[in-house]
Amino acid sequence: MSAPHPAITAEVMREIAAGSGLSCSQAARLFPSYRRKAADTPNQTLEDRSPAPCNPSTVFRWITVGVVLDDDTRVFLEGAKLVGRWLTTPPAIERFLMAQQPRAAAREIPRTEGERSRGAKRADAELQELGI
């Protein structure tokens, strides 16, 4: 038996069962577009054209294929298949967006004065053992 698809989680299934399921088309309408529709008339300017919606196939791809992050990890939009179509939920979309945000670099917490002093003493002791 194969492993379950990473996008299918118990959490998203509970959310869908509770009534917050969205089809790929409905979910796509929640996202802004990066492109504009083609001009309706030859003289229509870019500003006059309404944005094209996010395509439902994009949402489907996020569920089934995922997106690759800068650190080569793959993130999936959580979803579940119901009667031949994929559904997702607003909380799953929020988790998907959060998972794509750049992680704060593992910043070291500045050491306290006591920690710096003890570290310096340890380093001095190690150097003296080495004869430096």
Note the residue count of the chain.
132
Mind listing the pLDDT tens digit for each residue in 115-129? 889 999 999 999 998
Mind listing the pLDDT tens digit for each residue in 80-106? 999 999 999 999 999 999 999 887 554
pTM of the model: 0.65
* DSSP 3-state of 80: strand
Q: How many whole angstroms separate alpha carbon 74 and alpha carbon 107? A: 23
Q: What is the pLDDT of residue 107?
A: 52
Predicted confidence (pLDDT) at residue 4 exceeds the cutoff of 90: no
Domain boundaries of the chain, sorted by first residue: 10-130
